[in-house]
């Protein structure tokens, strides 16, 4: 009898303890790999509930810019904060003065393919990439991406959360680009 009363008391105490709810926040990520839709990158949005990443959504570059700039409302930016300003990135919405139409742009996202390829993988551009190998980063570049961004394989892993924003900042820096090329 005493043991049952003790278990009941323990259960009541443990049930009455209210833990602080985890902060729910948006997490973005990008993977640099050839996609079935002839894209070179794949951008995703998640909701981090403190335990797991949920509500995964593959985003086009334009939709990502609209969400992250706060131009469009979304579960990934409910307060419509301009995340690009927070992270000091050359991205946002450009308003054409003639047509008054707003267009999304994001120069760092447009450069991410250069991490993996020495030349643009399709015949539509003559730009050169930063990779020292044709279709993947060199072993030293791959090690650099692993150590600094947690990306073991650019085909399989996402630059995720803080590493996502970090790589977008870094690909804007000419010194970082020069260092990456020299690896």
How does 122-144 read in b/e, with b if 16+ C-beta sit within 10 Å? eeeeeeebbbbeeebbeeebbeb
Q: How far, in Å, CA of 113 to CA of 140, rounded?
A: 17
Which 8-state DSSP code applies to residue 112? G
Beta strands at 91-95 and 41-48: parallel, antiparallel or unpaired:
unpaired
Task: Report the pLDDT value the prediction gives residue 134, as an integer from 0 to 100.
Answer: 86
> Which structure tokens are listed for 87?
């992270």
Task: Report the pLDDT value the prediction gives residue 93, as an integer from 0 to 100.
Answer: 93
Torsion sign over Cα 129, 132, 137, 143: negative
Task: Report the pLDDT value the prediction gives residue 4, as an integer from 0 to 100.
Answer: 62
Cβ atoms < 10 Å from Cβ of 55: 14
Task: Report the pLDDT value the prediction gives residue 13, as an integer from 0 to 100.
Answer: 55
Could you state, in chain order, the average pLDDT of each consecutive group of 10 residues for the chain (183 residues)? 57 53 81 82 90 89 94 90 93 90 94 91 81 92 95 91 95 95 93
Task: Report the pLDDT value the prediction gives residue 67, as an integer from 0 to 100.
Answer: 94
DSSP SS3 for 139: helix
Task: Report the pLDDT value the prediction gives residue 169, as an integer from 0 to 100.
Answer: 96
> Which structure tokens are listed for 155?
């085909």
Q: How far, in Å, CA of 34 to CA of 54, rounded?
A: 24
- The single residue listed with the structure tokens 């894209």 is 39
């Amino acid at each position: 009898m005493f043991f049952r009363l003790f278990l009941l008391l323990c259960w009541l105490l443990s049930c009455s303890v209210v833990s602080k709810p985890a902060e729910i926040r948006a997490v973005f990520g990008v993977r640099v790999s050839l996609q079935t839709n002839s894209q070179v990158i794949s951008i995703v949005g998640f909701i981090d509930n403190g335990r797991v990443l949920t509500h995964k959504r593959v985003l086009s570059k334009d939709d990502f810019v609209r969400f992250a700039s706060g131009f469009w409302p979304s579960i990934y930016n409910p307060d419509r904060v301009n995340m690009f300003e927070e992270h000091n990135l050359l991205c946002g919405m450009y308003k054409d003065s003639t047509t008054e139409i707003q267009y999304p742009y994001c120069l760092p996202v447009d450069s991410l393919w250069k991490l993996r390829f020495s030349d643009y993988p399709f015949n539509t551009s003559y730009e050169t990439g930063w990779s020292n190998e044709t279709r993947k980063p060199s072993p030293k570049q791959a090690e650099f991406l692993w150590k600094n961004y947690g990306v073991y394989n650019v085909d399989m892993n996402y630059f995720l959360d803080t590493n996502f924003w970090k790589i977008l900042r870094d690909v804007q820096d000419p010194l970082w680009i020069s260092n990456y090329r020299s690896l």
